[in-house]
Every structure is written in C-alpha cells, then in structure tokens.
Amino acid sequence: MEKAKVTFDYRKLQSSAELMRAVAHPLRLVILEFIDTHGVINVNKIYNALQIEQSITSQHLRILKLAGVVQSRREGKFIHYSINYDVIDRVDVAMRNFLNSEKEIKRTTES
C-alpha cells in the first residue's frame, strides 16, 4: 500500500489549535454559557455571578478574545462582552467534520 503525502498549512493549524484550546477549557465553557444566557454583559457581573476572582475571569476572557470567540466594547469604565457566533459556528462545523471523519476511518478499518 502506498503512503499518502500529508501536508498542513501551519498558520491555519496554529489558528485552529488556538481556537480549540480556547473553547475546550471547562471554566471558559461556563463563562461562554453565562455570556450566551445574558447576550451582552460586563466583566464585573461575570465574575460576581460565577464567584470567580476578577483576575482569573479577565485572564480567561483575554484568551477567548484573542481566539475571536468573544468580542468586547468599552463603555466608560465597564467592558462588555458578547459572543462572536460566527466563530462558534466555525468551531461547531469543524468538530462535526472531525467527528464524522473519525467515524468514517473507524468504519473502514473495521471492514
């Protein structure tokens, strides 16, 4: 059997890995669910409601923002966060494609 040549676009791979790492953390998932429930919410309400330290909340929000998962806007001294649903949709499609390809590989190896 002939080996298939595998090539990756390093920048796309890095970007995808960063995005998946951002959404795969349990606390970040809780934060995302909280923001989703409220639509747009300021950081103070997030850490007070979830009983997380402000610095930890800000750190996780920074990771989500760098990955493009959340957006922020400043109003005076408050920073309001919302979810970038276009990015969330891309994560969903990527995960479905990955899971479907894994199922297909498993079927072909079991045959």
The string of pLDDT tens digits covering residues 28-85 is: 999 999 999 999 999 999 999 999 999 999 999 999 999 999 999 999 999 999 999 9
Each domain of the chain, given as residue ranges in start order, spans 15-110
pLDDT at 40: 96
Pick the CATH number of 15-110 from 1.10.10.10, 1.10.3720.10, 2.130.10.30, 1.25.40.10: 1.10.10.10
The string of pLDDT tens digits covering residues 78-107 is: 999 999 999 998 888 877 877 776 666 666
DSSP assignment string, 39-97 = SSEEHHHHHHHHT--HHHHHHHHHHHHHTTSEEEEEETTEEEEEE-HHHHHHHHHHHHH
